[in-house]
Amino acid sequence: MSDGSKESLRSPVAPSKGVAKAVDRIGFLPDIDLPPSLPAHGIGIAEMANAFGVTHRTLHFYEEKNLIAAGRSGLMRVYDRKQAVRMAIINACREIGMPVAVIQELMEALDRAHSQEDADNLFLQALETRRRELMAEQSTMLRQMHRINDLIEQAAGIPDNANDNFEASDFEPRELHCLALMSEGYAPARLSRALGLNLAEIAELENAIIRKFGANNRFQAVAKAVLLGIIK
């Protein structure tokens, strides 16, 4: 019978000694939602994998790392409800980018928890630590994005005193339309046809947009508009 078979799901699980030890050591685990598709007991490997959106190989990997433990019902690998809770914790930690080594430390600490309060606090501390790490990463990414923008502006020849505080609401609909067409490479004659203006009016419109951005030419104005998210 294959691991994915649903036969004997309700049969008593008879884990090996090693597995029994891993299961018995579990005391307290944080309260976490489980996938509604999981059966109450005797969870087959296929059901476990499908419920958590992982592969059989991932489950085997977690077993090798002593994060979860499978029992046997005949030839079938099965997990009990507590192993499903462990898997839910592991899955949540992986979803937020927590390294496997850190998850191992967390699960080992949970195995030593003396109360439900201890387990909940350990989990919260791990989440807070990860949140601080992500906030630091976000700050780094923002600094890098600002630096990229600076380099793009330098490459485009946009002066440092160009206004960085514009939003789309600061422009008239006709100016936004003109900017969008300019970004697509429309020459003045083509802009004239698209907007229904004569060439003198197009020149005046372009110059007004360029002045707003503190730019030197239409290319710099378009580059600034893209950097500020005013046009795509």
Band (pLDDT 50/70/90 cuts) for residue 120 is very high
Alpha helices in the chain (DSSP H): 17-24, 45-52, 56-64, 81-95, 100-111, 116-156, 173-183, 188-195, 199-213, 218-227
The verdict on 120 and 172 lying in the same domain is no
pLDDT for residue 40? 79
Asked if residue 140 belongs to a domain, the reply is: no
- Is the domain of 34 the same as that of 79? yes
Other C-beta atoms closer than 10 Å to the C-beta of 62 total: 24
Do 27 and 125 have their domain in common? Answer: yes
pTM: 0.59
Range of the domain at 30: 17-131
User: Which residues are registered as beta bridge partners of 77?
Assistant: 72
Residue 148 lies in a domain: no
Picking from 86, 114, 131, the residue at the C-terminal end of a domain is 131
* Residue 153 lies inside a defined structural domain of this protein: no
Whether residues 35 and 96 share a domain: the answer is yes
Q: How many CB atoms lie within 10 A of CB 84?
A: 22
CATH code for the domain of 35 = 1.10.1660.10
Q: Do residues 13 and 72 make contact, with C-beta atoms less than 8 angstroms apart?
A: yes
Mark whether 32 and 122 lie in a shared domain. Answer: yes
pLDDT tens sequence across 156-187: 776 655 555 666 677 888 988 998 898 888 88
Q: Do residue 39 and residue 118 come from a single domain?
A: yes
Shared domain for 96 and 198, answered yes or no, is: no
- Amino acid residing at 114: H
Shared domain for 91 and 181, answered yes or no, is no
Torsion of Cα atoms, 6 then 7 then 10 then 14, to 10°? -100
For 215, residues 6+ apart whose C-beta sits below 8 A from its C-beta are: 158, 159, 162, 221, 224
Residues 37 and 100 in one domain: yes
How sure is the predictor about 222, in pLDDT bands with cuts at 50, 70 and 90?
A: confident
Q: b/e for 194-214, b at 16 or more Cβ within 10 A?
A: ebebeeeebeebbeebbebbb
71: closest CA among 7, 107, 8, 17? 17
Last residue of a domain, one of 79, 110, 131: 131
- Residue 144 included in any domain: no
Q: Any idea what the CATH number is for the domain that residue 194 is in?
A: 1.10.10.10
Asked which of 6-20, 55-69, 183-197, 207-221 is least confident by mean pLDDT, the reply is: 6-20
What pLDDT is attached to residue 152?
A: 77
Are 173 and 125 found together in one domain? no
31 & 77 share domain = yes
Tokens of 78: 């099965």
Considering the domain architecture, whether residues 27 and 100 belong to the same structural domain is answered as yes
Where among 131, 160, 184 does a domain terminate? 131
- Higher pLDDT among residues 29 and 229, named by residue: 29
Mean pLDDT of the chain: 82
The count of domains in the chain is 2
